[in-house]
Each structure stands twice: as structure tokens, then as C-alpha cells.
Amino acid sequence: MPLPERIEEIARPVVESHDAYIIDVKVRGESGAKIAELFVDTDEGVTTGLCERISKELSGVLDAAELFRGRYHLVVSSPGVERPLRFPRQFPRNVGRTLKVKIRSGDAVENVEGTLAGSTGEEIQLGLTGENLRTIPYRDIIEARVIADISNKPLR
């Protein structure tokens, strides 16, 4: 099993004990100087305190598992706006934000951009410019990303 998958498997119980879930695991660097990055989220968002608590607890668990030869550095952080939305539970707190969504449309791939108007357990509703709401099932979403709004206006 690849190292990121092994880390995720070991980290999942620790992360879930903090009412969080894993978005992604990345490992970079050379042998003896590896950096393991764990991106976590919650339904309410991530605080630095949460990342610190998970990091402290997980460090001991990873050390005991002896996954790394030599030294490594563990980084636990929020996914940030640049990371794709991977799970349906990430969408509700992004209602009102602009999304760029790559969707499967038959045999073609379509890129759409609009304001997330809502989400359910099965689909999202996206307000597209010049159109009514468009309903997109999660199964058709290849990738969805929040477009960062730098205008300093409130979301809601």
C-alpha cells in the first residue's frame, strides 16, 4: 500500500476522534527528510487549535507505526480554498460562494461556474449566470473548487 494511504488508514481514527475527517494526505521530500501533509476538515470548519491537537496525538501514533525511515515532519492543516471539494459534506458550508465545477455530461466534460445555492445528500444546486438553478448530482461532479472572493464583502 502506498505511504499516503497507509498514513490515512492510521490517521483516520485519530482524526475522527476529534469530529473531523481527512480530505487528503500528501507525502513529499527525500528519504530522511519527508514531509507528511494531512488535510482535515469538519462540518463547521477547522481551527489552528484543532490542527495542533490532531498533530500532537497523531505524531505518537505515526512514530509507533514506524512508517518513516529517519526523520519526518508532520503538517496537519485545513484544506484551504485551493483544494477541491471532495465530499458531499463539504458543500453545505460553501453555500453562497462561487464554484467552478467540472461535470460529466454524457461522454463529454463540461466546465461551469456559478453560485452554490444549495446542496442535499445527492446533488448540488448551482446558480449559473443568465440561467435558473442547475441541479448537478454528486456522481456527475469530476471536480469542484471554490473561487476565492477577494472583494471583502460578507458572504451572507
What domains, with CATH codes, occur in the chain? 3-77 (3.30.300.70), 88-146 (2.30.30.520)
Yes or no: say if 18 and 78 are a contact pair by the CB < 8 Å rule: no
Of 69, 78, 144, the closest CA to residue 112 belongs to 144
pLDDT 10s digits, 52-101: 999 999 999 999 999 988 889 999 999 887 789 999 999 998 999 999 99
CA distance 90 to 72: 30
The number of residues making up the chain comes to 156
pLDDT 10s digits, 90-146: 999 899 999 999 999 889 999 999 999 999 989 999 999 777 899 999 999 999 999
CA distance 141 to 136: 7
CA distance 130 to 59: 50
Asked if pLDDT for residue 156 goes beyond 60, the answer is no
Asked if pLDDT for residue 11 goes beyond 90, the answer is yes
Asked if pLDDT for residue 155 goes beyond 80, the answer is no
